[in-house]
Structure 1
């Protein structure tokens, strides 16, 4: 498997991923969800700078609004579309009655840091203010979630929501293969606990060269909490948080450190670690048995979050 760093530019990477997923769909290895009897529609969400974000809303064909789940896709802040959330959305809508808004935040190199973070927070505020227009009732649950780079967007937005006393309140966070702190900014006290950074520097799917490639395009400020939400001034009052961590991910130990920090600050947490699986395994290894394990864990994690608020 090529490293992301082997692609000459972002456009080359996006085209390659588009073609690979097209081949997997055509061969039947990846099966698209059947949305018969369910509702799927595209919307535009306004941003602070007068632009709009393409998002997709999924919800049951019902007059009764369900809880709200906002999904932020992965892709190193360089690629990805709202459709990347369809696996999670299908389960949430069909089995748990959620309304899902999958947000297409702007990506690099056209839009560098902190655009993605601003877009995520703008989208959360808009959905909080306009939940009824997307057939959602946040009083039944208001969860932010994402995978990989999208988990950073979700985590930052959750902290922004607490700091701003957003109403309705965010009631949960779901993070898969999360990126929570730039390695250069990890506080010294935690560095002795971060062995995965070196152990899996040549990891499958996302290696050290790949991370450097993404950061070169995205241009984050490592010490900003918008790039490294583990550095946020306070994690107290964060909503219940469910994490899916991959055992062979260079980012594994920072995720475990973050979960520990949340617990120390009194935040309810639930953690699943998938041994022997690389970063983004459930997304990039569609034939692996871990996909069903991760979906099962995801459903259980969301159900656990819903129980925390009542």
Structure 2
């Protein structure tokens, strides 16, 4: 295990002091207020988060889920002429927090660097909607994208799913469900420090119980709200994709983990199981990085490199044959 760089230690200390690690102490009103809190997309904030690239257009859309509920979507369109591949992006936040707007810099980066049309899904969250609602919304989102991509200059024949943390969990679940139910085709899955084991069976969960950004107590609180209250078993693949009966036939994968993250071991284990099932996998663990580091590349040493790896892998599997190496964490 490596040491965290000074700039990352300072940033995460401030982040934790501001209360982003206390979901276990929040009531529903406070959860909803925290969901709505989004960092401004201007300097000096963008020195840490990265800026939305110039030329990327952001639009709003909605699709109808299987129960008739309207699901908001934030759409990022690159400046380059299309049609472009489509990346369905699933935000993190423990299935409880988070909002597509909070991921504007990362989603905008993907749109510009691949280039691609990014559809960021505002899926329903716990505690109002425990498992498997978020997963079902995200499956429905991929199916909607297959029919709606052309509206946004997208090519539905080249679709990937990408998610971080709880969104990485959902991306993995989506790939399994879509495979089992016969499509649509997903060309690639990018899982950024995903949570894939709700049983918490791996050592890093305890070894890094007091890690910055994400602690064991917060993980337990998220699981309580999303999984335990649902009545689903913690080993149900809809909440723990690591326990799927088979991983054969899943899309090629990028699995990025952080070595100072309680979820590190389960992400690495999922990558290993994908590879053992014959799935093409690129797995990278970033040293000195905590959970969530892709959202604050300017406060890390490795964040820009991890973003470039993400764009390169998406580009390779989606047939754009290029990823633009842009700075994502500076001024």
| Residue correspondence of structure 1 range 132-171 to structure 2 within 5 A | 132-139=150-157, 141-167=158-184, 169-171=185-187
Deviation at 1:46, TM superposition (A): 0.7
CA contact (8 A) 1:240 1:308 kept: no
| Alignment match, 1:190 | none
Cα shift readout 1:132-184 (whole Å, capped 9, x = no counterpart)? 22321133x210010000111111111111112213x1000001110011125
Q: 2:213 is matched with which residue: 205, 218, 222? A: 205
Matched, 1:57 2:65: no
Q: Deviations over 1:245-276 (max 9, x none)?
A: 01011111111111111111100000111112
**Residue 66 (str. 1) matches residue 84 (str. 2):** yes
Equivalence for 1:115: 133
Q: Contact 2:49–2:105 (CA<8 Å) still a contact in 1?
A: no
2:194 aligned with 1:178? yes
Question: Are 2:96 and 2:126, in contact at CA under 8 Å, matched by a contact in 1?
Answer: yes
Within-5 A mapping of 1:3-22: 3-5=21-23, 7-16=25-34, 19=37, 21-22=39-40
Residues 194-227 of structure 1 show CA distances to partners (whole Å, capped at 9, x for unaligned) of: 3212211111111110011112222343121100
Q: How does 1:215-294 map onto structure 2 within 5 Å?
A: 215-220=223-228, 221=232, 222-283=234-295, 286-294=298-306
Q: In structure 2, how many angstroms separate the alpha carbons of the residues matched to 1:17 and 1:30?
A: 20
SS of 1:276's equivalent in the other structure is strand
1:31-83 deviations in whole A, cap 9, x for unaligned?
A: 67456533321000111111011101112356631111000000001111122
**Contact persistence 1:272–1:297 (CA under 8 A):** no
Shift of 1:131: 2.1
**Alpha-carbon distance in structure 1 between the residues aligned to 2:69 and 2:204:** 39
Q: What residue number does 1:301 align with?
A: 313
Q: Larger RCO: Structure 1 or Structure 2 (Cα < 8 Å, ≥ 6 residues apart)?
A: 2
Are the equivalent residues in 1 in contact too, given 2:166–2:195 (CA < 8 A)? yes
Rounded to whole Å, the distance in 1 between the matches of 2:151 and 2:320 is: 26
Residues 1:45 and 2:57 are matched in the alignment: no
Structure 2 unaligned spans of 5+? 1-15, 322-331
Give the root-mean-square deviation of aligned CA atoms: 2.6
**Secondary structure of 2:270's aligned partner:** helix
Find the residue that maps to 2:267 and give its secondary structure: helix
Whether contact under 8 Å (1:71, 1:85) holds in the other structure is no
3-state SS of the aligned residue for 1:40? strand
Residue of structure 2 equivalent to 1:79:
97
What is the TM-score of this pair, normalised by structure 2?
A: 0.82
Going from structure 1 to structure 2, the CA distance change for 1:205 and 1:46 (only over 3 Å counts) comes to same
SS state at 2:160 partner: strand
Report the TM-score when normalising by structure 1.
0.87
Deviation at 1:99, TM superposition (A): 0.9
Give unpaired runs (5+ residues) of structure 1. Answer: 187-193
User: Separation in 1 of the partners of 2:29 and 2:144?
Assistant: 30
